[in-house]
Amino acid sequence: MGIGPHAIKLTRIINDAGILKPSFSVIELGSQDFAPTLPIAQGAIADEFGYKNAESFNTPPDLYRAMGGVRHECIDLDGKHAAHVFDLNHDLSEKYGFVTKFDLVTNHGTTEHLFNQLVAFENVHRLSAVGGVMLHALPFQGYQNHGMFNYNPSLFLDLAHANGYEIFGLFLSVDDKLYKYDEEFLARNAISASQDCLVMAVLIKKSEAPFQAPYDGRYFAATRYLRSNIISARRRDPLAPKCRRSGDWTRLIPNQVTEIVSTASSRPFGDSGMSMTISV
């Protein structure tokens, strides 16, 4: 997709927050250019960062160097910008022996073009150093036939929960503008389902624990409730023999099941560990 005004603004927010190391390394999934045009991106850099020489920034590494970055690499099958020609559908360490870790890992519109989503996010995890920042900017809705996948914001909450990531922030981008995410944003702003919209997540890796595939948190909450409440009901309910044969224990406590599934179907950010005090 390229790095446009919305991504430049979010990069400035990350920089201002001081969550990047002073002399940081960065790897980008995709051989990124500025978007939608170079002059527009240069103007956004001048506005956000105040750099007087923004017109001399021709590629993203120019921006990262100005921010204090000391090493830039990227991965793309097209080989542009000295990219590592790696297929991100595969485990980078196993297939290519690539085990270098970075302080900033960016995914600006790349993984939606990959079929192997599990390995793609596992690669991001392995590329990130402990304390490293992982920035995802991916299609949320719209973008018809742009790639193989669109992504729900809840994915990043579950990804963070499964892997102990700190959630720095969750955002949306519409028409190259950046907004803090909340579940009523689309309805409140009368944004149609066909409108192109990006979800942008900033996560911080907190340990070197192996990657864990996330479970959908809504259904995990329902399953956890059922397991804790059905055990005692199995023995005393007359329906228990039928449930045991069918494996469907939900009929024992239909009211409770309806309530917990309804409650678990919405995850307010108050439960996610994300304070959302970031100024956008």
Domains present along the chain, CATH in parentheses:
5-204 (3.40.50.150), 217-271 (no CATH)
Long-range CB contact pairs, 264-270, < 8 A, 24+: 264/217, 264/218, 264/219, 264/220, 264/221, 264/222, 264/225, 265/218, 266/183, 266/218, 267/154, 267/157, 267/217, 267/218, 268/183, 269/170, 269/181, 269/182
Look at residue 263 and tell me whether its pLDDT is greater than 80: no
Q: Which two tokens stand for residue 154?
A: 């809840």
| Lowest-confidence region among 83-87, 158-162, 275-279 | 275-279
Give the model's pLDDT for residue 239. Answer: 53
Using the predicted structure, report yes or no on whether residue 253 has a pLDDT greater than 70.
no
Rounded to the nearest integer, the mean pLDDT of the chain is: 85
pLDDT band at 245, cuts 50/70/90? Answer: low
pLDDT by residue (tens digit) across 133-143? 999 999 999 98
Task: Using the predicted structure, report yes or no on whether residue 277 has a pLDDT greater than 70.
Answer: no
**Longest CA–CA separation in the chain, Å:** 77
Token reading at 146:
């742009």
| pLDDT at 215 (0 to 100) | 87
pLDDT tens-digit series, residues 31-57: 999 999 999 999 999 999 999 999 999
pLDDT digit string (tens) for 156-201?
A: 999 999 999 999 999 999 999 999 999 999 999 999 999 999 999 9
- pLDDT tops 90 at residue 227: no
Region 83-87: what's the mean pLDDT? 97
- On the question of pLDDT at 235 being above 70, the answer is no
Q: What is the pLDDT of residue 242?
A: 59
DSSP 3-state of 105: strand
The whole-number pLDDT of residue 217 equals: 77
Q: What is the mean pLDDT of the segment spanning 227-250? A: 52
**Confidence at residue 106, expressed as pLDDT on a 0 to 100 scale:** 98
Look at residue 218 in the predicted model and tell me its pLDDT.
Answer: 73
**Sheet holding 128-141: strands in order across?**
71-75, 25-29, 102-108, 128-141, 197-204, 166-174, 177-180
